[in-house]
Homo-oligomer: A and B are copies of this chain.
Amino acid sequence: MSEKVTVTSPFWKRYRENVVKEVIPYQWAVINDDQKIVVPKDPGGNDDSDEVSNEWSHAVRNLRVAAGEEKAPFNGMVFQDSDVYKWLEEAAYALAYAPDKQLQDLCDQVVDLIARAQEPDGYLDTPFQIKSGSYEHRERFSQIQQSHEMYVMGHYIEAAVAYNEVTGNQQALDVAIKMADCLNTYFGPEEGKIHGADGHPEIELALSRLYDATHEERFLRLAKYFIDVRGVDPEFYDKQNEAVGDGSTDIFPAMREWSHEYTLTARPIRQQQTAEGHAVRVVYLLTGIAHIARLTGDAELKETAERLWANIVRRRMYITGNIGSTHIGEAFTYDYDLPNDMAYAETCASVGLSFVARQMLEMDTKGEYADVLEKQIFNGAIAGISLDGRHFYYVNPQEAYPEASEKSPDHAHVLMHRAEWFECACCPANIARFIASIDRYLYTVHEETRQIVAHQFIANEAELLDGVKVKQESNFPWDGHVEISVEVPQGSKPVDLSVRIPSWSRSQYSLSVNGAEASDLPLVDGFVTVHAEAGRTVVALDFDMSVKFMRANTAIRHDAGKIAVTRGPVVYCLEEEDNPAPLWQYQLEPDAASKASAQYKADELEGVEVLTVPVVRRTSDPQDSPLYMPVDEEPAQEKTTATFIPYYAWANRSVGQMQVWLDSAR
């Protein structure tokens, strides 16, 4: 890609520097066994939350063993390799904004190790190469519902494309091409090839990226094949498992129950009406579908992406942008089922939904895509990493109670503090690569029409198109004043700058172009477009940063009669650290939003806008008062104020209760 974007936003610069200083070295230490790891007993959280040390990741060692340079059994999840590849990808993005010879040398060595581990025919998946333990008698691609082989290789391909793009390392790309060609020999419509797709989507989006990097039609063809073969024979996985006499290995119990819906293979994907099953699988697949729909101009595929997107963001998404309503199978359940205290809301699913939003924006300049992406950028996705960069959430509840997590097995998946690592370590590297590549999520550029779409408000300096400079200045998300200047070189054709008016500010914002009031510019699908001739054009925006009390659609029973507090793009929450428990005693008066005040605290939570909000608080019944009593014996209520912090920043201090939704005092 021709764009070069330098993030200058204080808020996001801190995250990105943290990834360079803390996350990358820490995660390398973990996957390279430089330090022991302690993980929650059950990463999926279907068990209890006692922590157990699983000692070592051995993810890098697995590659050395596969390369024949060390003797050891395979260790970890079947997709353990992807921990290394996602680390490589996050490092690649970091090198783009923080060049570091030492890190790059390390990455080069990792790429070389990967090259040595790769089979002559391009295959690379260490459990199936090491063949120890339960993998001893398992053949490559013989159980692709659960083997994650293509999922793992897809992650390598993504890393390779990114690393090659940033550093020019050709070996990385060659390994990826060889890998993709290996898949090409096994999969495809031709007689004698395997007619199925990986149980966990990823290869589709990865091959699309490889196509963008190489323009080799065969990769796009294979990517599209994996989309189209999915669900054509719903029994495909069952037949594979039966053929090897194994109907269960490595399958989530939930997957055994409803495997066809769970893996999106119940029907051809073009006929899929709703987002079912494992949330991350859905959004990874949607990312590939959208990418391929654009590359191939396949209208039906595009409609499929739009239909499933709409089902997710209009019926199955938490206000923070998180998705996935049940821990059982890390899955979607049904429309409007969004329990707050039982939410799964996996970090990877928020990152994946951001991938989808980015791809959808490439097709259409629609505010909804950017609004949802913004939710991840300031809420759902970044809640997955601690401010210190060394602790991670897999599950992102909308409501948390220490006693429930400890003593109610149904809530054991809700951790009260971020974990050092997970046995299933998909989330830590996923949020890291998202942060490190955030510069790629700010603009959509259409060279042919010379349209620059600025859909996110993260201060940055960019060079887009041929020499067109765009500069965004703001202290977003804390301040609603945003200035975007466009410099079109003399002699260059004019450009159209499309700027998003966020849904939360649509009813109230001001816009000026070169100092002249221009708020009357037509709003199309949530965007205003400014025509910029050669020279400098300055677009100044002021968004509505007032505190807003939000309610949920009445179809969501869990939020009935409840209110959530937002300011700009940021969803706030109440934490026990700032407000005496129990938090369910706090109520919000629907009309009191205007009485809330915001204050920036530079020394708290790495710099954060804190809200002081008037609340009505029920006083608690005295100890040992009866369990149930006539309502006229109401506990007294007192008017007071509560301190709200941004949701993404919760659980960075003491362990305590947290709530996003509060009862309405009405």
A residues neighboring B (CB under 8 Å): 47-48, 254, 257, 313-315, 317, 319, 325-329, 333-334, 337, 339, 342, 401, 403-404, 407-410, 548-557, 560-561, 563-564, 582, 584-585, 587, 590-591, 593, 618-621, 624-635, 663-666
Contacts and interface: CB of A to CB of B under 8 A. Distances in A.
A41 B22 CA distance: 49
Contacts of A626: 314, 553
Contacts of A561: 561, 587, 663
B548 A407 contact: no
Contact of A627 (B314, B337, B624, B625): B314
Nearest to A258: B48
Contacts of A404: 333-334, 337
Contacts of A590: 631-632, 634
Contacts of A48: 257
Given A337-B408, A663-B561, A550 B629 contact: yes
Nearest to A557: B584
10 contacts: A314-B624, A326-B410, A334-B408, A548-B630, A551-B634, A552-B628, A555-B621, A560-B663, A561-B663, A590-B632
Contacts of A556: 627
A314 B590 CA distance: 34
Contacts of A618: 554, 560
A635 B550 contact: no
Nearest to A276: B407
A401 B557 contact: yes
Given A342-B410, A557-B582, 4 more contacts: A314-B626, A326-B410, A549-B632, A563-B631
Given A557-B582, A590-B634, A634-B590, A627 B317 contact: yes
B554 A621 contact: yes
Given A560-B584, A663-B561, A628 B553 contact: yes
Contacts of A564: 628
Given A337-B407, A408-B334, A630-B548, A635 B554 contact: yes
Nearest to A548: B630
Contacts of A552: 627-628
B329 A409 contact: yes
A630 B585 contact: no
Nearest to A331: B409
Contacts of A315: 627
Given A342-B410, A620-B554, A313 B627 contact: yes
- Which of A327, A408, A590, A620 lies at the interface centre, i.e. has the most chain B CB atoms within 10 A of its CB? A408
Contact of A628 (B550, B620, B633): B550
Contacts of A550: 628-631
A428 B456 CA distance: 61
Contacts of A254: 409
Contacts of A334: 403-404, 407-408
A257 B381 CA distance: 32
A408 B325 contact: yes
A441 to B, nearest CB: 22
A665 B631 CA distance: 12
A24 B254 CA distance: 38
A557 B621 CA distance: 12
A352 B161 CA distance: 65
A631 to B, nearest CB: 4
A619 B554 CA distance: 8
A569 to B, nearest CB: 13
Contacts of A624: 314
Contact of A553 (B329, B625, B664): B625
Nearest to A571: B628
- Which of A334, A624, A628, A634 lies at the interface centre, i.e. has the most chain B CB atoms within 10 A of its CB? A628
A146 B588 CA distance: 50
A1 to B, nearest CB: 32
Contacts of A319: 627-628
Given A403-B334, A584-B560, A326 B630 contact: no
A663 B630 CA distance: 15
Contacts of A407: 333-334, 337
A403 B635 contact: no
Contacts of A630: 548-551
A628 B151 CA distance: 34
